[in-house]
Homo-oligomer: A and B are copies of this chain.
Amino acid sequence: MSKQTTSSTRERILYVARDLILSRGFSAMSVDMVCAQADITKGGFFHHFPNKEALGEAVLRQFWQDAANRQEDILHRHYPAQLDKICAYLDHAMTTYQDPQLSQGCMLAIFTMGLADTNPDLYAVSRSYFSQWRHDLISMFEQLKTEQALTSLDATAWSELYIAMLEGALILAKSSHDPHVIARTLTLYKQQLQLLVSQPDTSAKP
């Protein structure tokens, strides 16, 4: 409608910055490098962004939005059983993280680890995204728990394990140059979840 004219220069800056942050971190990315790779001058850059931090926030926001858009259809579709929904979610992640671009790393992790003690504002943003992600997962698992009457299922632990596993798998993938790590860990996670659900509940039986 109104804000149709998203300057292609701004998009170029965003793209270049995304790449640089994923491969070196936010602090190690200089605006000079961004300008050079986006084929723009300093003056041009600071027309689009008031400062480096604003660029970081924009990149982080877009990273989060892209991920949200990718999951949208799965999260909003109705499934006969909640386990199917979760499995669809896991399968979606598995195919998604085949993309070498996505297996480069996670923006939330980079901002969290690199800026926790130096940039409270950017850190708070990534923190809120992590928190949101966690809560979304917890509600998914809580639903599974009530639906299947799985008293032994710890929704929080399973949610945190998923995020932790994914973030760690991205690190391992970068270390071993093998994107398959992500698929392997995700597969095991899914198998174990299915095993737990199929399992007769062994906890406190009155």
A binding-site residues for B, Cβ under 8 Å:
23-25, 27-28, 105, 108-110, 112-114, 116-118, 126-127, 130-131, 134, 154, 156-158, 160-161, 163-169, 171-172, 174-176, 181, 184-185, 187-189, 192, 195-196, 199
3 residue pairs, one from A and one from B, having the closest CB atoms: A164-B168, A167-B168, A168-B168
- Contact call B160/A185, Cβ cutoff below 8 A: yes
Q: Which residue in chain B gives the minimum CB-CB distance to A25?
A: B114
Inter-chain CA distance A63–B64, complex, in Å, is 33
Does A169 contact B175, Cβ atoms closer than 8 Å? no
**A134 cross-chain contacts in B, Cβ below 8 A:** 172
Chain B residues with Cβ below 8 Å from A108 are 175
Q: How far is the CA of A161 from the CA of B171 in the complex (A)?
A: 12
B176 touches A131 (CB 8 A): yes
Contact A181 B160 (CB under 8 A): yes
Q: Is A164 in contact with B163, judged by CB distance below 8 angstroms?
A: no
CA distance A196 to B118 in the complex (A): 43
Chain B residues with CB under 8 A of A25: 25, 27-28, 113-114
